Amino acid sequence: MSLPVITGDKEEVYEDPLDLMDEIDELKKEKDASILAHFYVDGEIQDIADFTGDSLKLARDATKVKTSTIVFSGVHFMGESAKIMNPEKRVLIPDMLAGCSLAESCPADQLGSFQEQLRAEGRSFETVAYINTSAAVKSLCDWIVTSGNAQEIIGRVPDDKEILFVPDQHLGRYLMEVTGRKMILWPGSCMVHEVFSIQDLIRAKRNNPGSKVIAHPECPQNILEITDFIGGTEKMRQHVMSVKEPTTFLVATESAMIHAFEKSAPQHNFVPVPGIMVDTGETCACNRCPHMARNTLQKVRDCLRDGTPEIVWQDYFEKARAVLDKSLL
Ligand code: SF4
């Protein structure tokens, strides 16, 4: 029996995930393709991927892919980065509408105007962009960072330069604290990490005595202040693997990440920290990124089979590539 299921923007007919996985395996061989999947996409997609990881690891993995086609299961800017690093390869993404609220909070034209204004004021600065930005924005920047390498890269900005950090104000504030560098912060944020509720976190701590909080630095400051370990997704994964004693971890990041934690450190118990829905003020229990959730097994199969949607090379990718190359490799 076929059941319709809703996946964001359209109805999809239910198909058995195991059949889809078999079909995807066959198509990968037939189309000479590899699948890269971000830690925030559904666990079943991570399970069929050739590479899984955070943005930094996947950007590096993209350069090691031997096949002629890459399917990037994540969001649009990640597909762009994979294409920029591999101009000769065909890069497909399962859903062209999988965007990112953080990347969208910093449009390239607005960043360009702001940089012009700073230059007109005689300010001497370098622009450091979090990797969650469009390729057009990357092409306007001096450095690209991920939550995994930001401290190291910021150390490379000469002391006599100011730093304009875009687009995540929370990550920027955290980096100011840990590096001691003053920064001009772009007022952007991630819709998922912005909604974590401090009250729910405190209640979860009370209900789980002895638990430890792990949080992504994109979370607001009030969450980070009561966090035991702050790090990007890969750093969090390494951290839970390094703890041998079975522990309950309260997880303040996108809830699909728990799949990767459970695979890497099965001795622990992982509890997602609920968030607050901005429109209703109600708490929700999942913190799913709606953009990442656009990735489904069916869409992975469809884009492999049909060869679309594809990330097509743009002129400004060249400039973005130079910035990515010096920052990530
Ligand atoms: S979790 Fe936030 S930063 Fe990550 S893709 Fe979703 S909206 Fe963008």
Q: How far is the CA of 74 from the centre of ligand 1 (A)?
A: 10
Ligand 1 atom closest to the CA of 74, numbered from 1? 5
192 pocket-lining for ligand 1 (C-beta < 6 Å): yes
Instruction: Sketch the domain layout of the chain as residue ranges.
Output: 4-98+292-306, 103-189, 196-284
Ligand 1 atom closest to the CA of 40, numbered from 1? 1
Residue 54 confidence (pLDDT):
85
Q: How far is the CA of 119 from the centre of ligand 1 (A)?
A: 30
Residues of the chain with pLDDT below 70 are 1-11, 275-286, 329
Q: Which residue has the tokens 């198909």?
A: 15
- Atom 3 of ligand 1, nearest CA residue: 190
Ligand 1 atom closest to the CA of 291, numbered from 1? 6
Q: How far is the CA of 122 from the centre of ligand 1 (A)?
A: 34
253 pocket-lining for ligand 1 (C-beta < 6 Å): no
Residue 7 confidence (pLDDT):
47
- Atom 2 of ligand 1, nearest CA residue: 190
User: Same CATH topology for 4-98+292-306 and 196-284?
Assistant: yes
Please state which architecture CATH assigns to domain 4-98+292-306: 3-Layer(aba) Sandwich (3.40)
Q: How far is the CA of 1 from the centre of ligand 1 (A)?
A: 35
Pair type for strands 4-6 and 11-13: antiparallel
Q: How far is the CA of 100 from the centre of ligand 1 (A)?
A: 5
Residue 204 confidence (pLDDT):
84
Residue 90 confidence (pLDDT):
97
Where does the chain show beta strands of DSSP type E?
Answer: 4-6, 11-13, 33-38, 51-53, 69-73, 90-92, 125-130, 143-145, 162-166, 183-185, 212-215, 229-230, 248-252, 269-272, 275-276, 283-284
Q: Does domain 103-189 have CATH number 3.40.50.80?
A: no
Q: Does domain 196-284 have CATH number 3.20.10.10?
A: no
Ligand 1 atom closest to the CA of 289, numbered from 1? 6
